[in-house]
Amino acid sequence: MSKPLVTILGKTVKSFARLRGGGSALPGLVVERIDPNFIKDILSSLPLGVTVISGTNGKTTTTKMVVELLESQGLKVFTNRTGSNFSRGVAAALLSDINIKGKLDADIAVLELDEAHAVHFVDKIPPKFSLLLNVMRDQLDRFGEIDHTANLLRHVANATSEKVVLNRDDIRIANIAKSLDDKKVKFFGIDEKLLKYFPSDDNLHGSKYKNKITEKADVVLSKFHDDYATFTIDGKDITTKLKLNGIYNVFNAAAAIALVRSIIGKEINQKKLIEALSKVTPAFGRGEMLTIDGEPLELVLVKNPSGFQLGLKSFNPSGYATMIAINDNYADGRDMSWLWDVNFSSLANAGVDLVSGIRAYDMALRLDYDEVTIKNVEVDLKIALKNFISINKNQPKRIYCTYTAMTSIRKNLSKITKVEVVK
């Protein structure tokens, strides 16, 4: 089939899928089936090629940051914005952005890919740049083991032609450098004093903080206080105010800066870069702040033990009504074991107001074993959300939720009340 025809067909499926209120990846799937080279042909025509961002936690917000930072440098950026990070999602995103002749008006593509899909993707389309964030225990029912996941990312690094940006303080990511030419590697990192806020997988699983810092990093997150962060960029300290919620997002800002510096090179306009950084907000559901009845409501996406633990460390529960919603659909991961790798005792003083989702009782059981009191358990998310909002009307609220719980909450929130996105 000719390219314009595939494009038209894909766009048509896309508009139908939207009418049905369906998922974002379906039209991409259709196009991929008909023309397997669809993505490759279009992306390989971009002057700055393809950048891949992968790792367990923080992909979506980091990708959003990288896109906005590149745009601050005057580049036109194509990205898979919907958070549907499989290559089908990439094809779906392409369908929106290309013109009818199948041409994409962009300088560079910045793509968020999960570890398993990144491997297949880079085999077809080798990226010029890649950024590898971290390896944590996430949905191991899909990937098997964490060392295996690290090997998937090593494969992505090997397929990258120009620069690979690596997390110096995640031992499995840092080790990837050993199989790469030194000139191809750039590191981002975090000051030793802040390391305790960013436990690596081994730290979370019993080992003490023993990451040895030996590699020199291009960008280091050296201080973080309230809304201000200090980055040491190429040896010089730069302090800026940030809108990012959650300290782990701030570490990923260091990753984004290092990647953008690799892509742009000497020509970089640092003033514009930092200005753009100060304006970046978290991605959909990643520490997002909404307003309901004049009170803030924060949605914190939790997908794996490390992410959940970091969320609990980032947000103080006192004064807040807390809800936790745990689903076990395919996109969430079916295995509930991960809840037992999170320590919930920080919630013991304030307690949890409501526990919901398909696996609400697994979560309730988990909290009970950490001596956290629970006011209510309601499996049905719709009812739970309504009750949570009406009972805690005059209080700031926070909901920790898995991926499909979050999408359902977002949908139901807009039915209950006017949702205002604050930041």
Partner 1 sequence: MSNKTITILNLYSNDMNIYGDRGNVLCIIKRLERYGYSTELIEYNHGDNFPDNIDIVIGGGGQDSGQSKIQQDLLKIGPKLQKLADDNVPMLMICGLYQLFGRFFKTSEGEIIKGIGILDIETFGKSERLIGNIITYSEQFGDIIGYENHSGQTFLGHEVNSLGRVRLGAGNNTLDVSEGAKYKNVIGSYLHGSLLPKNPAIADFLIEQAVIRKFGKFTKNKISDKYTDQARKITLKRPR
Where on the chain is the footprint of partner 1 (CB under 8 A)? 137, 140-141, 144-147, 205-207, 328, 334-341, 358-359, 361-362, 364-366, 368-370, 377, 379
Look at the alpha carbons of 326, 327, 333, 334 in this order and tell me if their dihedral is positive or negative.
positive
* Nearest residue (CB) to partner 1, 208 versus 225: 208
Q: How far is the CB of 365 from partner 1 (least distance, A)?
A: 4
Helix (H, G, I), strand (E, B) or coil at 136: coil
Q: Where would I find the beta strands (DSSP E) of 77-227? A: 77-79, 108-112, 129-132, 163-167, 185-190, 219-225
Q: How far is the CB of 170 from partner 1 (least distance, A)?
A: 16
DSSP secondary structure, 330-359, as one string: TTT-S--GGGGGS--GGGTTT-EEEEESTT
* Nearest residue (CB) to partner 1, 175 versus 390: 175
* Nearest residue (CB) to partner 1, 143 versus 197: 143
* Nearest residue (CB) to partner 1, 282 versus 333: 333
Strand-pairing partners, residue 112, are 53
Using CA atoms, how far apart are residues 63 and 53, in angstroms rounded to an integer?
7
Q: How far is the CB of 150 from partner 1 (least distance, A)?
A: 10
* Nearest residue (CB) to partner 1, 195 versus 379: 379
Q: How far is the CB of 35 from partner 1 (least distance, A)?
A: 32
Q: How far is the CB of 160 from partner 1 (least distance, A)?
A: 25
Burial of 149 (0-12, 13-18, 19+ CB in 10 A): buried
* Neighbour order of strands in the sheet with 77-79: 77-79, 108-112, 50-54, 129-132, 163-167, 185-190, 219-225, 228-233, 236-241
Q: How far is the CB of 147 from partner 1 (least distance, A)?
A: 5
* Nearest residue (CB) to partner 1, 292 versus 358: 358
